[in-house]
């Protein structure tokens, strides 16, 4: 199992993701430079957090034109696993791999705090080690994480079950008070209709070791590992 | 030619910056302000043989990069530059 971690100028969560992949998970790690086009045989591509290209113009607006993003788009079209976290989610939306957009937090504040997420889909390669309706605790760290989509797109996402994570309270109740950024329908993460491209604002790579205050994020990395093992043995 | 492009959040998109600016104006005594939307202004200088061509090109720039159609609307004006004018 080989994870590719994308590095743009301005990415800062690449090392955190890389650490989890090779030090915690024990999987193969390959950093992928944005100017390259070769995905080097990776089974899952992580587009990590940060401020790619300084987030100039809009978050993710310039990053999507990187040569590597074209290869990632083709990889996704072939069914490859693509996982955008925070800035990576914003980039996947800008590039059209996921619907909608992430806008300024309703509070106008940069929010760096723990959130509770209810897992609405546990049948995905990214969540197979979670239980459906399980509440996981994962931190956020963003100023522009308020998910927006037009009403038609939003209802399509809901009907197709493409909402994977929703901000909730500790008991799993989805409430306005548990929404840290004003996301429509408390959306914290979505998947494309095929289920192989995930975007999420919270940072699972920041809660993959007990020393960091929680290990729920590791479940997602383990899920990807597990799904790849299933594909290999199938 | 110069294109003066204005990008604004769509009416359906929540604009917390606009709300905050409106509150700021209200606290300064501008109680007549009923709504504020905060967007961006982009100036693009380009070579074009005709205004029609420039309009098409700038429109393509806006729809492909300068504005995100999911959350933003845009409009622009074109202005001819005097030949030899100081930049």
**CATH number of domain containing A14:** 3.40.50.880
Q: How many domains does chain A have?
A: 1
Of A93, A94, A106, the CB nearest to B16: A106
Contacts of A58 in chain B (CB under 8 A): 68
Average pLDDT over every residue of B12-40: 95
On average, the pLDDT of chain B sits at: 93
Degrees (nearest 5) of the Cα angle A117, A7, A181? 30
Of A57, A100, A107, the CB nearest to B70: A100
B13 touches A: beta carbon within 8 Å: yes
Contacts of A182 in chain B (CB under 8 A): 14, 16
A128 touches B: beta carbon within 8 Å: no
A145 touches B: beta carbon within 8 Å: no
Q: Say how far residue A149 (Cα) sits from the centre of its chain.
A: 17
Which pLDDT belongs to residue A234?
Answer: 53
Which pLDDT belongs to residue A103?
Answer: 96
Rg (CA), chain A: 16
A108 touches B: beta carbon within 8 Å: yes
Q: Say how far residue A26 (Cα) sits from the centre of its chain.
A: 20
Domain assignment of residue A109, given as a range? 2-233
Average pLDDT over every residue of B48-69: 96
A209 is catalytic: no
Which pLDDT belongs to residue A229?
Answer: 72
Do residues B78 and B61 lie in contact, with contact meaning Cβ atoms separated by under 8 Å? no
Which pLDDT belongs to residue A232?
Answer: 58
CATH class of B2-79: alpha beta
Whether residue B82 is predicted with pLDDT greater than 80 in this model: the reply is no
Which pLDDT belongs to residue A231?
Answer: 65
Average pLDDT over every residue of B35-50: 95
Q: What is the mean pLDDT of each run of 10 residues along chain A (234 residues)?
A: 96 97 97 96 97 91 93 97 98 97 95 98 97 97 97 98 98 97 98 97 97 97 88 59
Contacts of B74 in chain A (CB under 8 A): none
Do residues A124 and A130 lie in contact, with contact meaning Cβ atoms separated by under 8 Å? no
Give residues 162 to 191 of A whose Cβ lies within 8 Å of B.
182
Between chain A and chain B, how many beta carbons pairs sit less than 8 Å apart? 35
The 3-state DSSP class for residue A194 equals coil
Whether residue B32 is predicted with pLDDT greater than 60 in this model: the reply is yes
Annotated active-site residue in A17, A42, A44, A86: A86
Which pLDDT belongs to residue B33?
Answer: 97
Which pLDDT belongs to residue A230?
Answer: 73
Contacts of A104 in chain B (CB under 8 A): 16-17
Whether residue B87 is predicted with pLDDT greater than 60 in this model: the reply is no
Which of A90, A35, A33 is CA-nearest to residue A67? A35
Of A101, A107, A108, the CB nearest to B71: A101
Hey, are the CB atoms on A101 and B65 less than 8 Å from each other?
Answer: no
Whether residue B85 is predicted with pLDDT greater than 90 in this model: the reply is no
Whether residue B86 is predicted with pLDDT greater than 80 in this model: the reply is no
Q: What are the residues facing A214 on neighbouring strands? A: A209
For testing the chain A interface, which of B16, B36, B41 should be mutated: the one with the most A CBs within 10 Å? B16
Contacts of B14 in chain A (CB under 8 A): 103, 106, 146, 148, 182
Cβ-count burial B15-25 (b if 16+ within 10 Å, e if not): bbbbbeebeee
């Amino acid at each position: 199992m080989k994870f590719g971690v994308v590095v743009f100028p301005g990415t800062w969560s690449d090392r955190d993701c890389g650490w989890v992949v090779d030090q915690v998970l024990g999987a193969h790690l390959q950093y992928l430079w944005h100017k390259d086009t070769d995905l080097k045989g990776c089974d899952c591509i992580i587009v990590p957090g940060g401020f790619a290209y300084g987030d100039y113009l809009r978050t993710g607006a310039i990053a999507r034109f990187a040569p590597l993003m074209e290869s990632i788009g083709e990889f996704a079209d072939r069914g490859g696993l693509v996982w955008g976290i925070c800035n990576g989610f914003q980039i996947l939306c800008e590039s059209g791999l996921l619907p909608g957009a992430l806008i300024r937090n309703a509070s106008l504040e940069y929010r760096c705090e723990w959130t509770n997420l209810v897992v609405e889909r546990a049948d995905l390669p990214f969540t197979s080690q979670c239980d459906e309706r399980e509440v996981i605790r994962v931190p956020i760290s963003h100023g522009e994480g308020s998910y927006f989509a037009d009403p038609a797109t939003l209802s399509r996402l809901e009907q197709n079950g493409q909402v994977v994570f929703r901000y909730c309270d500790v008991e799993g109740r989805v409430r306005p008070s548990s929404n840290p950024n004003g996301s429509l329908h408390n959306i914290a993460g979505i998947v494309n209709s095929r289920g192989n491209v995930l975007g999420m604002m919270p940072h699972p790579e920041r809660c993959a070791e007990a020393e960091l205050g929680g290990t729920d994020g590791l479940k997602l990395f383990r899920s990807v590992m597990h799904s790849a093992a299933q594909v290999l043995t199938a | 030619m110069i294109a003066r492009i204005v990008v604004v959040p769509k009416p359906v998109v929540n604009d917390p910056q606009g709300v905050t600016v409106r509150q700021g104006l209200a606290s300064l005594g501008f109680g007549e302000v009923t709504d504020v939307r905060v967007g961006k202004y982009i100036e693009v200088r380009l070579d074009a043989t005709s205004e029609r061509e420039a309009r098409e090109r700038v429109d393509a720039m806006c729809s492909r990069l300068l504005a995100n159609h999911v959350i933003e609307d845009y409009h622009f004006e074109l202005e001819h530059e005097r030949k030899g004018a100081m930049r």
